[in-house]
Amino acid sequence: MSIPLALGTLSFLLAVIWGSPLIRWLRANRIGKQIRIEEPESNQVKMGTPTMGGIMILVPVVVITVVLNIYNLIGGTIVGGSILVPLMTLVGFGALGAYDDWSGLRGGVHGAVGLLGRYKILVQIALAFVIALILYFPLDIHSIAIPTIPQKIDLGLIYIPIAVFIIVGACNAVNFTDGLDSLAGWVTAFGFAAYGVIAFLQQQIYLVTFCFIMVGALLAFLWYNAHPAELFMGDVGSLALGSTLAVVSLMTGQWLLLPLIGIIFVAEMVSVILQVSYFKLTKGKRIFKKTPIHYHFLLLGWSETQVVQRFWLVGLLAAMLGVALALL
């Protein structure tokens, strides 16, 4: 465990060192946050803050992971090479998010803000399907672990659509959560730390190392994303982080615990689904003042700091409980 923790620290140092030059470059190229008119007034002051900060997380993680696994990448064991799966997920969904961020900043196609939702979800499903096939066939991962039951349960081919649903759902849930300074970063860091511990209990050393490299890079991002944020992660960060956390959960077999460990992400996504459904059914009525649900609490009078700290406290406790259940 000492090596993964040390590498997490190295990841933090590499990311935090190049954070300032990255922010200056983003400002120089006017790559700034676009605030939707329907967002709360308190968010309007964030207009123009550098975005696409997820690059700050992805680059050190990719560099450190590749350098550490050169042998596995050029002909080592299947187990060692399996680290390519979360790495490919990080890069693939990060690229999709980067394209969406860039098209949004530049007005998108036909004046749309960012990539159209229906195209984005189709690409997400395609990427998730490829990843699910890799998990199922080369890596032979197609089971579920249930607390208190000693043996994992083989799901067969039904595992593939389940894996696709989990990956797509997680990447969009983190995307919904990324609306307040440091909220998504903290909760995602707790998620990777929790699954790092779970992977350690399973002796998946490669996966443990990857998880704590992710935690280190996320903490570096939070250095600049703390309120008032100097940098936002953008879709390049949120889509990559959510999908990769889902893949890590699938590789441990403990993906049934993901809704608990990521309870804040689930609450954010469910609030949006409920709001939209209720609005359509009642022809205009709402359950919440605004969604995702963190905006509801802002409009109730909570400060941004109160919302973020209370949400990440719930997220931390949920992550702790998730690890406890994995021990059963």
294-306 tens-digit pLDDT? 999 999 999 999 9
For residue 317, how many other CB atoms are within 10 A of its CB? Answer: 12
**Mean per-residue pLDDT over the chain, rounded:** 91
Distances 95 to 90, 172, 181, 289 between C-alpha atoms, Å:
8, 15, 23, 33
Whole-number pLDDT of residue 197: 98
| pLDDT reading at 35 higher than 60 | no
What pLDDT, in 10s, does the model give residues 145-169?
999 998 999 999 999 999 999 999 9
Residue 274 lies in a domain: no
How many whole angstroms separate alpha carbon 303 and alpha carbon 253? 38
Mean pLDDT computed over 271-283: 95
At residue 13 the predicted structure's pLDDT band, cuts being 50, 70 and 90, is very high
Mean pLDDT computed over 114-130: 91
Whole-number pLDDT of residue 109: 43
Contacts of 162 (CB under 8 A, 6+ apart): 155
Residue 90 lies in a domain: yes
For the chain, how many structural domains are there in total? Answer: 1
Whole-number pLDDT of residue 76: 60
| pLDDT reading at 1 higher than 60 | yes
First CA to last CA distance, the chain: 21
Mean pLDDT computed over 104-117: 63
Residue 210 lies in a domain: yes
| pLDDT reading at 43 higher than 80 | no
Residue 183 lies in a domain: yes
| pLDDT reading at 87 higher than 80 | yes
Residue 280 lies in a domain: no
Residue 45 lies in a domain: yes
| CA atoms within 13 Å, Cβ hemisphere of 225 | 29
| pLDDT reading at 231 higher than 50 | yes
Mean pLDDT computed over 190-207: 96
| pLDDT reading at 111 higher than 60 | no
pLDDT above 90 coverage of the chain, percent: 78
Give the structural domain span for 25: 2-257
Whole-number pLDDT of residue 38: 53
Angle between helices 159-177 and 183-201 (to 10 degrees): 140
β-partners of residue 143 are 154
At residue 8 the predicted structure's pLDDT band, cuts being 50, 70 and 90, is very high
Whole-number pLDDT of residue 110: 43
Residue 93 lies in a domain: yes
Q: Give the DSSP per-residue string, 220-277.
A: HHHHHHSSSPS---HHHHHHHHHHHHHHHHHHHT-GGGHHHHTHHHHHHHHHHHHHHH
Residue 155 lies in a domain: yes
| pLDDT reading at 68 higher than 70 | yes
Q: Which residue has the higher pLDDT, 251 or 76?
A: 251
